Every structure is written in structure tokens, then in C-alpha cells.
Amino acid sequence: MGAYILRRLLLMIPTLLGIMIINFVLVQFVPGGPVEQVLAQINEGPGAGMERLSGGGQEVTSGGSGDYQGGKGLPPDFVENLKKQFGLDKPPLERFLIMLKSYVTFDFGESYFRSISVVDLVLEKMPVSITLGLWSTLIAYMISIPLGIAKAVRDDTAFDTWTSAVIVIGYAIPAFLFAILLMVLFAGGSYWQWFPLRGIVSENWHQLGWWDRIVDYFWHITLPVAALTIAAFAQLTLLTKNSFLDQIRMQYVMTARAKGLTERRVLYGHVFRNAMLIVISGFPGLFISVFFGGSLIIEYIFSLDGLGRLGFESAMQRDYPVVFATLYVFGLMGLFVQLLTDLTYMLIDPRIDFASRET
């Protein structure tokens, strides 16, 4: 077991390094670096950070490490000082090595445009993303596993047919459309105003009692969590059903029934352990997709200030310290979650022995 864990930890190093190299190289070809963002705001005002600058017959279209020429009479020294301030006056390879050296010690520097350290910025946005990712994943599993088992036991019945129709409809609806539908119905859009339209807690949350804080918290997250859960719930239910059907048709199930075991004992004493392996294997992908990517549109729709929105806005603003730091942390977390999933296999099925695996 210890040797397997050590091998997986060592394998994370080249994997994470490859992720960082690929993204760093891609950034070098993206037009509109941080210096160009500042020049755009100076020349054309706020909100012009993504537009190309023109002036004096020249256009500034360089990327994060290109040759900035300034615009509209800005002195070259000013542009050079900006490049030095952002660390873009060094060659790309040197910048990459400096970044890796800092990241090893989890020193992510400060945001280019927010005057706050990247660590503090991520910690500030983390509660929203944890809320959406954790609750959506837990609710999806709590609903999907019992429903999937019920569908497998009642395969080809009316219950299976009607629930499958509902699941297919839910799977076909994108999360953002379902979020808009929930807003229209229950957030004062056109019908009822049962839930708040924005925020994860009320503005006076800190002034409430502990019980009122809990109620207020769940009152705010109901709609965004429901919107994120619908797609994951549909996919996970079908996965659970198919996994149980495969196991129910195995020879050991027939043998257990022939020995006189009750159907409940066969299902939960023998089938459940084997069928749940493939369901658990999908946990990292489901959680990471909701935590890192799936919540972006939901955060915008419900005006939630989380990591998905932070990553998107940082990429649009070319705030490279935030972009690469979040990429590094998310990649590391994803690798650790995958390792944790493999170790969970052993707890469910003792026949899986990592210690016996050869290098």
C-alpha cells in the first residue's frame, strides 16, 4: 500500500509539470497580455481591456510576452516599466522557471489588477465553490444511488419506463437553462418569489442568530444547487442502474439465491459492494466538473462570487498569477482526489490489494 501511494505521489510531479508547461506555452500565443490591458484602459477607459489598441498608424496586438509598442503617444519608458512590473521583461523560459520555484513553496504572488495576494483571493472565493460542488455532488449521490438500485430491481417495469423518461429529460436540459427556469418560476421572474435572486447569504447574515444563519444559507443555495444537481443526477442514476444490472446477472448472484438468501441480503450483501465500484470511480470527475467548471455559468446567473467566476474573469483580464495559481492548485487537488478514490476501492472491496501491484 505504501509503495503504491508513493508511486502515485511521484507520478503527480510530471503530470502537474506537463499541465503547467502546456498552458504556459499556450498563453504565449494569446493576444492581449496584462500590459496591453493596462494600455487599453488608459487609452480608451475602463472595460476596453480586451480591445486592440491603435494609434500613430500602429496597433498593439502582442501577447503576454510580445513586443509592446505603446499607443497614443505613451512614452516607451512607461511601457517598459509596466513590463518590468509584471515580470514580462524576462525571457519566457526564465519566467516559467521562476514561477515553478515559487509554486513549489506555494508562493503564488499577487494579482496584477486586484492588489491582493492570490492565496487570499482564492480563499475569499472558495466558500461559494465548495458550497455548490459539495452539496450538488452529495445530493446527486443521495438521490441517484437509491433510484438507480430501484430501477435495476424493477427493470422493464412501468416504474423503470417513467423514471427513465424523467431522467432523459433532465439530462437533456443544460444546467444554465434549468437555472433560468428556476429563476423565472421561484425567484420573482414571472411567478413566485420564494427564493433570493443573488448571493450565498443575506447582507445581514452576521447579525442573525445561529439557527437563522443556517436557514438563510440553505435558502440562498437552493436554486443554484438544484440547477447543478439535475444533470449529474441523471447521469449518475443511469450509471448506477447499469452497474447493478451487470452484477445481478452474474453467476455468484444465482448461487447466492440458490442458497436461500433473501433478495435484500443478495442485493445489499453481495451485489452492492461490487456494483458501487464503478459508481465511486465517477466521483472525482463529477465533483471536479461541478467544483471547477460546471459552476461558472451558475455563478454568473445567480451573482455568486466563486472560483469559477474568478478563473474566467482572470483569464479575460490576463491576470496570469491568478490563472496559473488556480490551475496549479486545481490540478493538484484533482490528482489527490483521484488517488483518494483508488484508495476508497479497497475499503469497499478488500479483494483489491494495492500492495501486490508491481511497479
As a whole number of angstroms, the distance between CA 47 and CA 67 comes to: 23
Q: What's residue 38's pLDDT?
A: 74
Average pLDDT, the chain: 77
The reported pLDDT for the residue numbered 48 is 43
Q: Report the C-alpha gap between 114 and 129 in whole angstroms.
A: 20
Instruction: Tell which wins on pLDDT, 86 or 224.
Output: 224
Q: What integer pLDDT is reported at residue 315 of this predicted model?
A: 82
- Is pLDDT at 242 greater than 50 in this prediction? yes
With cut-offs at 50, 70 and 90, classify the pLDDT of residue 348: low
Domain boundaries defined on the chain: 34-105, 119-356
Q: What pLDDT does residue 68 have? A: 42
Residue 262 per-residue DSSP state = -
| Torsions phi, psi for 72 (to 5 deg) | 55, 45
> Tens digits of per-residue pLDDT, 145-200?
888 888 888 888 888 889 888 888 877 877 788 888 888 888 776 678 788 877 78
Side-chain-side CA neighbours of 4 within 13 Å: the count stands at 13
- pLDDT, greater one: 313 or 354: 313
| CA distance linking residue 127 with residue 327, whole number of Å | 18
Residue ranges with strand state E in the chain: 53-55, 58-60
pLDDT digits over 203-218, tens only? 888 888 888 888 888 8
Q: Which residues contact 276 (CB under 8 A, 6 or more apart)?
A: 145, 243, 348
CATH topology of domain 119-356: MetI-like fold (1.10.3720)
**Residue 199, strand partner residues:** none
Task: Specify whether the backbone of 57 is left (phi greater than 0), alpha (psi in -120 to 50) or beta.
Answer: left
Sequence-separated (6 or more) residues with CB below 8 Å from residue 132: 221, 224, 225, 228, 290, 291, 295, 298, 299, 304, 306
Confidence at residue 52, expressed as pLDDT on a 0 to 100 scale: 35
For residue 290, the cross-strand partners are: none
Query: What is the pLDDT at residue 294?
Result: 57
Judged by average pLDDT, the poorest of 67-76, 117-126, 154-163, 257-266 is: 67-76
How crowded is residue 300: how many other Cβ atoms within 10 Å of its Cβ? 16
- Least confidently predicted of 241-250, 300-309, 316-325, 350-359: 350-359
Put simply, whether the predicted model's pTM sits higher than 0.85 gets the answer: no
pLDDT digit string, tens, across residues 11-39: 888 988 888 898 888 887 777 777 777 77
Q: Is the pLDDT of residue 53 over 50?
A: no
